[in-house]
Structure 1
């Protein structure tokens, strides 16, 4: 209770300290609200007002709210007569050059100047007030104009003097360039084309277009009336509210509502955007609130990191691609896209993760086929075959695939006396693994057995790339026949096995009779080796793998398709200038291997290259200091940094500060 009394006393004391001195009624007048302009002169000193200056002319553009005044210049005080005469003569002559008979300056000197207006910003909350009969009368201002001297007429005079010519020899007759004979010039004809919305927005917002629109509005001549004139007094009376006795107050509105009614807020400015409706500038984006920014980003769709493809569709496409690589080593993006129905960009990103693009072939699985792993762990291979069979059943339901995979040949079993078109059975994945196990177990005696052994039953196998392949010429008690077909771009393992059989047979024949190798085969193999051999280093296994891939692209009647033995391959390598290099293993548990490299490339750096290759005969790893010292000792000079890196990176790879030979693996 005591606190309330103290608070009440404090409020009374504050009212006593700030007493009401006088109450003034405020009236809002609307008589001149649409035609009342407040003019300011920011470059004019307050000690030199224009009140006592004569205004000779006045004009206005109501739509643009522009005003121009021609005010007299005092030619008596602080005036340079010579400069004034020169200025008046130049301006008047420019008018005569344009064919205007009226002179700008009636006298011989510059006796007037033009004041041009510029609309001030944020002038919608100003009003003009006048006190009358102990009441304040307020009238809203239409616009606030800042008047500054304008010298456009002087600029026109300078441009006119630059183009017009005064002929003194002909009594001062003025001749312009347009009167002279004009040369014939080519004219470029342009045809109008439909204008897009974006181009139209740019054109409307351009400075040239705005200047053209402003120039289209004509000036309206106005009469200037002095402040002491009777008509000015009558106009000033309109600033007051004539019906002071008729006071109507709406006591049902709040104080804020009354202020809004007294001074309404400015209308919202609708800015013309130069961008299309679906594009938002970063400046406009920053002016929005956070929810609006997020909404705008999602609507525009250009800055959202979320892809439009569901994740399950991407996973489904990747599973189908991996399954496809179990059936064939090479496929095409078009073939995959027809099934998974993904955009080309998304599909390409998936394929680049697991495959490599081969020119004129397609997309090849990035890793080579590991035959040794399949032979060592057939149980793992069997589980994988079963896994992909189940996976295909799932893909078949979701992607609407056929029951039998297209492009994959089924394995068939023929009886002892087969009949064409009958007595065929499909071998399952498990049976295929069992046959592969049986053939792998008999691989030890493959060299001592014949391919076409005596038997009455035959098994015809077309093994796709996803299944287990055989590396060499297998032998068994049964007569096993591998189908011999030309290799297509998919490079099936059955055809690869056939090539390896032929290669093994050719090697055996070559060992028995080296003179049996035809010269045509030697020439063809040498040409092929010259094409693939560059400054890199190769192992024999890599060359044989590339040979098999190349043979798969040849026709059956090609001489290289019949097989190339190791001895023939080594002979051709030696004849084209390739040197056999014994590679020292990095680990003591490994055995040395044979590498093949060109010692000379017919370049200036060949002397350093030979020194580098000789160093690796005894050591598996070398430091840069050892290499450079050996090069200086053998050649008498050291290579620069650019030469050194080029030579070493051709055949070596580094790990830390050590360099070792790095043969190509593909």
Structure 2
């Protein structure tokens, strides 16, 4: 021992024993609303019950109604409110007076590993680990019962004769709805909700107990289990730990409890959590959520004292300047290897389309949605999403940019504005190559200064017609030369101005056809390109039956997915697309739509694969013949037709035929794309 310990001699050694008989049954009750000098030992305990898994205990104790401190009138009033004037076995108070109260427990701590009950006897200390520490507080559940009684009485007074109402009630249709699959985020919120916890607590049944007082013989018998009953001689009873290790055993370091954070909605941004991130991540997160923002607003959302130069450096990495305001970059919203949630279009294609929308807003305050869609050729849902990020619809003005031009920022930071302008020029040159347009296409010819202007639809149509007439002579010469090379001495087609239809696009004109009354223009050589025919052939071998509207949608998706610079199908008209269909062993099916049909003209043009050089062609032709007589057919009619013409067909063959060419609705079969709502 150290010399300093001579003044602190050991007076007595005490043996410590660990009693385990009550290790999983021993609870410590605390009564925090009552002084320790006023115990409940002498109070009559009427009932007790427990939920072991939740460590919930309820005790019913009698109230001394003869005490001078008891207000008899209040006790009678409470009993009347709770039980009413009637008497039955379910009454809370049997003597028409509040003669008992209930104590309900709450856990004082969830970790009792450091707590034990100790008993000292004959120089020995016996300790028993505690299972739980519970605080017993008065329960006021009888007030809830009184409120329920009051509401029932009011409902009875206002309800009237319910039996008559039930007799007059008529049968009503019931809509059955099936719950959607629950997401992980929704499940976490549900588990942490108050209703879910209440339900889980109510599921565990109560176990009723018998109470024994402190001086009862059974209590005395149970107290003997607080002493260690026997000692195993094989156990090592000597302490071989160092004083430091022993102290750590007695007082282990507190481990931080990991509290599960509630899962919040995905569209809620916590500013407290945001400001724990680096500045670059803060700016990126804000821009990704807000989409478009003035620089002054961005500075207001960041912590006070943030360096403005650092923010400018960060914002240029994740956003572009449009009309003096910052708009988040497309590759931030649509990262690589992702796709559209609406149509499945790859992120690279989405970024090009959205960059075009943003570039248009650098030129004008308002843009037309149809004009945007006709150039970027993406599904309507994606185009609408691009516009909603930065603009709002205005009556007769198209989509107008959300924020006014921030001239103050441009004046205050001219170097940043010039740098962004140079960046937009580079983006513009890339977009012109991808989408095959020029900036002059969006500026009126009479405008000498290329300032942002609004070009109406009529002006654009007039400009397109003028360009078509101006290009017609050179196009005619090219067409004549190409036809002369291909057809030898055959006379070139008459493509004079009198033969040009009004619906020409991109300077091309095509001959009208009696089969197709709705077209955007024809093919310059009346022969679809091999690339277009290859696309049509592959598409029909996959889908078998397509309406013109669906074929155009698939074609636009095909164009949008082509690599940059390889789009050689940028000027295909409806006529050219239909010609390609007829050249690829497909035929138009003349489906007799009803007179009141709401289908668009492109939806009423239905084409089917006629010859695929397999044994199933004859089945499809029989099916097409049936649909020339009616636009919807029952399965039994198809089976009988096939059996009559081709012999008995198996169920697998009929299923394959219907799966390839038809869709089912309300027990009837329709050709794909022709179901009428």
Q: Same fold (TM over 0.5)?
A: no
**Larger C-alpha radius of gyration, 1 or 2?**
1
